[in-house]
């Protein structure tokens, strides 16, 4: 029995190697021994061992998001499998390919009080692209093993609903340790048992709606050069989220779209909106675009339209759609349409620079500075809540912007440090994470093995320390609750010190309180291997609200001056 189980596990792993998988994340546990050994014994794979399953899931998500390849996650049975649920949910909504493998007890140990035995079939309902529970391996089913391994990759990478997680619940009996026997024969030339070829068409012929328009782009919008070529073809501005890869220095690119949308004049309201990629975090931008005819391009039928304003969905691969769209005749926009947006962008950026004091740290300045100062080829991982909004609102255009990654599928602060460490494991350049103090403490277990092993190369985690959850200062709770209630239930300031905790885990630290110190810390940390925690001491959450109000007012005044 043990040899059969080892051979089964080795066959799955062989199919994954044939399918181009390069990374696996393993958590310690007994029941998962056959698969853990099979993964570890393949030299083609990088095996990352993480202590905590919840952190391991987000670590794998960081690798997969950065590399674009599925990642295998291997854990034991019981609550270990349940700990993966947050990362599975995020991967589902963010369309990140994961192969989640949970070891399980055999059927005879279920329902009789055996330890570490829970119902794992259907553990992640509605959050996986595909799930399989093949039972304890037996030699009679060896003919199906390669198909199981190859299909897991195909479903994770190319399922009808887009990339996402799959779940293999793998039951094993004791004894668990053995060497694999001869594997079932595979396809010639090392090919996987199954392959999927996806054709991205653009559907039926269509025409451009009449009127002035804007192109709004987010993560997954397609190649930046294609987006910019379309904007030039249309004569429209591109409102570019940092995660889109399109927030570059270009005559058509508008980076301060959120600030402009809050107070923009009526003459800049579009008749048509083309939306490519994920929606922005901004609430001001969709409110400003209300009333326009919205076309969304989406290959996976996600229906990402919380305001219910999309009138037409083009179900097509974004790159193919961008190429086809440039060939369709269009009306030129009204005279001065693009120039009006260009003037607004220049005025807004000038107003933002005038208000943000370059001599003092602030949350907007940190976001702006990180994008400007990270080296070429860097990846920036940004936490949900305030950091992603500050990056969206204030990150300037850059001729060679970093790749920006954020867990915006389910929009939680879960696992952001783990995601950054996973990104570092997959990326050949520096990775810089921008997180709040609560997100840092929330994912503290991820840093237990951060100082050594795979994934430790050049990862800098900038912790914005404002003494609690800054996002709640911008929500209705601030005005409706007593201060003591807001602090205790929502802001939840923490007693431990960021630097003390990081140093206790054996990590390098930098404690910065000025822009110059932040620049020096980023420069030093991104030039060396290993993990560095940079604590940025910023003003209080209440002062941050005042600063945002000043920024809003300054942009509004600058836009009003344009209209005069």
- Of 161, 47, 35, nearest to 96 by C-alpha is 161
The answer to whether 487 and 493 are in contact (CB under 8 A) is yes
Find the Cα–Cα–Cα–Cα dihedral 180, 186, 190, 194, rounded to 10°: -120
Distance, in Å, from the CA atom of 318 to the CA atom of 276, rounded to the nearest integer, reads 7
Q: Are residues 96 and 222 in the same domain?
A: no
The confidence band for 455, taking pLDDT boundaries of 50, 70 and 90, is: very low
In this prediction, what percent of the chain has a pLDDT beyond 70?
Answer: 98
Q: Are residues 83 and 132 in the same domain?
A: yes
Dihedral sign for Cα 447, 448, 454, 458, please.
positive
Asked whether residue 452 carries a pLDDT value surpassing 60, the answer given is no
Q: Are residues 341 and 367 in the same domain?
A: no
Residue 550: in which H helix or E strand, if any?
A: helix 541-563
Distance, in Å, from the CA atom of 23 to the CA atom of 304, rounded to the nearest integer, reads 30
Of the residues 289, 316, 347, the one at which a domain ends: 347
Distance, in Å, from the CA atom of 35 to the CA atom of 6, rounded to the nearest integer, reads 7
Q: Indicate whether 200 belongs to any domain.
A: no
Q: Indicate whether 550 belongs to any domain.
A: no
Per-residue pLDDT at 454 = 47
The answer to whether 172 and 101 are in contact (CB under 8 A) is no
Distance, in Å, from the CA atom of 85 to the CA atom of 100, rounded to the nearest integer, reads 10
The confidence band for 485, taking pLDDT boundaries of 50, 70 and 90, is: confident
Per-residue pLDDT at 193 = 96
The answer to whether 169 and 122 are in contact (CB under 8 A) is no
Q: Indicate whether 309 belongs to any domain.
A: yes
Q: Indicate whether 131 belongs to any domain.
A: yes
Q: What is the average pLDDT across 399-420? A: 93
List Cβ neighbours of 7 (8 Å cut-off, separation of 6 or more).
137, 142, 180, 181, 182, 183
Q: Are residues 368 and 343 in the same domain?
A: no
Q: Indicate whether 458 belongs to any domain.
A: yes
Q: Are residues 418 and 516 in the same domain?
A: yes
Distance, in Å, from the CA atom of 434 to the CA atom of 391, rounded to the nearest integer, reads 9
Mean of the per-residue pLDDT values of the chain? 92
List Cβ neighbours of 428 (8 Å cut-off, separation of 6 or more).
none
Q: Are residues 374 and 412 in the same domain?
A: yes
At residue 70, the 3 state secondary structure works out as coil
Q: What is the average pLDDT across 88-100? A: 97
Structure tokens at 245: 């890869």
- Of 243, 85, 162, nearest to 73 by C-alpha is 85
Does the bond joining 175 to the residue before it have cis omega, within 30 degrees of 0?
yes
306-332 pLDDT tens trace: 888 899 999 889 999 999 999 999 889
Asked whether residue 204 carries a pLDDT value surpassing 80, the answer given is no
Q: Give the number of other Cβ atoms within 10 Å of residue 243's Cβ.
A: 26
Q: Are residues 404 and 310 in the same domain?
A: no
At residue 475, the 3 state secondary structure works out as coil
Q: Indicate whether 545 belongs to any domain.
A: no
Q: Are residues 108 and 27 in the same domain?
A: yes
Q: Which of 237-251, 255-269, 473-487, 511-525 has the lowest mean pLDDT?
A: 473-487
In the chain, how many domains are there? 3
Q: What is the average pLDDT across 98-118? A: 93
Task: Give alpha helix (H) positions in 208-361.
Answer: 224-234, 257-263, 284-288, 318-325, 337-355
Q: What is the average pLDDT across 36-62? A: 96
List Cβ neighbours of 251 (8 Å cut-off, separation of 6 or more).
338, 342
Q: Give the number of other Cβ atoms within 10 Å of residue 32's Cβ.
A: 26
2-39 pLDDT tens trace: 999 999 999 999 999 999 999 999 999 999 999 999 99
Helix 145-158 with 2-18: angle, nearest 10 deg: 40
Paired strand residues for 44: none
Distance, in Å, from the CA atom of 418 to the CA atom of 62, rounded to the nearest integer, reads 7
Per-residue pLDDT at 561 = 85
**480 burial via Cβ count (<10 Å: 0-12, 13-18, 19+):** exposed
The answer to whether 57 and 84 are in contact (CB under 8 A) is yes
157-183 pLDDT tens trace: 998 889 999 999 999 999 999 999 999
Q: Are residues 276 and 397 in the same domain?
A: no
- CATH number of the structural domain spanning residue 116: 3.40.50.970
Q: Are residues 341 and 365 in the same domain?
A: no
What is the maximum alpha-carbon separation in the chain?
83
Per-residue pLDDT at 412 = 87
Q: What is the average pLDDT across 488-511? A: 91
Q: Indicate whether 76 belongs to any domain.
A: yes
Per-residue pLDDT at 476 = 83
Q: Are residues 335 and 378 in the same domain?
A: no
The answer to whether 207 and 293 are in contact (CB under 8 A) is no
Asked whether residue 200 carries a pLDDT value surpassing 70, the answer given is no
Q: Are residues 334 and 220 in the same domain?
A: yes
The answer to whether 534 and 512 are in contact (CB under 8 A) is yes
Q: Indicate whether 204 belongs to any domain.
A: no
At residue 174, the 3 state secondary structure works out as coil
- CATH number of the structural domain spanning residue 230: 3.40.50.1220
Per-residue pLDDT at 173 = 95
Residue 533: in which H helix or E strand, if any?
A: strand 531-537
Per-residue pLDDT at 564 = 56
Q: Which of 64-73, 240-249, 321-330 has the lowest mean pLDDT?
A: 321-330
- Number of residues in the chain: 564
Domain with 36, as residue range(s), is: 2-178
């Amino acid at each position: 029995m043990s040899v059969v189980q080892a051979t089964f596990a080795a066959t799955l792993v062989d199919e994954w190697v044939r399918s181009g998988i390069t990374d696996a994340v393993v958590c310690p546990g007994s029941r998962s021994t056959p698969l853990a050994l099979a993964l570890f014994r393949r030299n083609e794979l990088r095996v990352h061992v993480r202590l905590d399953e919840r952190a391991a899931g987000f670590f794998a998500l960081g690798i997969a998001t950065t590399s674009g390849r599925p990642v295998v996650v291997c854990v034991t049975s019981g609550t270990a499998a349940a700990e993966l649920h947050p990362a599975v949910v995020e991967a589902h909504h963010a369309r990140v390919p994961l192969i989640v493998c949970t070891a399980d007890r055999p059927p005879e140990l279920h329902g009789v009080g055996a330890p570490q035995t829970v119902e794992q079939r259907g553990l992640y309902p509605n959050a996986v692209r595909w799930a399989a529970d093949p039972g304890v391996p037996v030699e009679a089913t060896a003919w199906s093993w390669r198909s199981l391994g190859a299909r897991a990759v195909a479903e994770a990478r190319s399922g009808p609903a887009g990339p996402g997680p799959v779940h293999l619940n793998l039951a094993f009996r004791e004894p668990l340790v053995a060497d694999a026997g001869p594997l079932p024969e595979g396809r010639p030339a090392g090919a996987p048992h199954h392959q999927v070829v996806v054709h991205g068409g653009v559907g039926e012929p269509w025409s451009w709606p009449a009127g002035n328009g804007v192109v709004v782009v987010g993560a997954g919008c397609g190649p930046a050069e294609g987006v910019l070529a379309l904007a030039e073809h249309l004569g429209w501005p591109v409102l570019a989220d940092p995660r889109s890869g399109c927030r570059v220095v270009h005559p058509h690119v508008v980076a301060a779209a959120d600030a402009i949308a809050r107070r923009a004049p009526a003459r800049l309201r579009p008749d048509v909106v083309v939306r490519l990629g994920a929606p922005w975090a901004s609430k001001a931008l969709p409110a400003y675009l209300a009333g326009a005819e919205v076309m969304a391009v989406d290959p996976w039928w996600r229906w990402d339209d919380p305001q219910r304003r999309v009138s037409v969905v083009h179900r097509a691969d974004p790159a193919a759609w961008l190429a086809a769209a440039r060939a369709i005749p269009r009306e030129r926009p009204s005279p001065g349409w693009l120039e009006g947006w260009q003037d607004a962008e220049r005025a807004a950026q000038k107003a933002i620079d005038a208000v943000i004091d370059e001599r003092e740290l602030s949350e907007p300045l940190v976001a702006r500075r990180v994008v400007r100062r990270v080296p070429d080829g860097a990846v920036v991982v940004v936490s949900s809540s305030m950091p992603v909004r500050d990056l969206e609102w204030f990150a300037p255009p850059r001729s060679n912007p970093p790749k920006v990654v954020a867990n915006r599928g389910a929009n939680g602060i879960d696992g952001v440090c783990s995601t950054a460490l996973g990104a570092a494991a997959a990326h050949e350049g520096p990775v810089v994470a921008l997180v709040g103090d609560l997100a840092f403490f929330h994912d503290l277990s991820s840093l237990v093995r951060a100082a050594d092993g795979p994934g430790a190369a050049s990862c800098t985690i900038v912790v914005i320390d404002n003494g609690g959850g800054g996002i709640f200062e911008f929500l209705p709770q601030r005005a409706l609750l007593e201060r003591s209630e807001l602090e205790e239930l929502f802001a939840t300031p923490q007693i431990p010190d960021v630097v003390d905790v990081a140093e206790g885990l054996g990590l390098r630290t930098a404690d910065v309180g000025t822009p110059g110190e932040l620049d020096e810390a980023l420069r030093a940390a991104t030039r060396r291997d290993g993990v560095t925690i940079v604590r940025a001491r910023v003003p209080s959450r209440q002062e941050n609200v005042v600063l945002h109000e000043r920024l809003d007012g300054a942009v509004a005044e600058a836009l009003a001056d344009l209209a005069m």
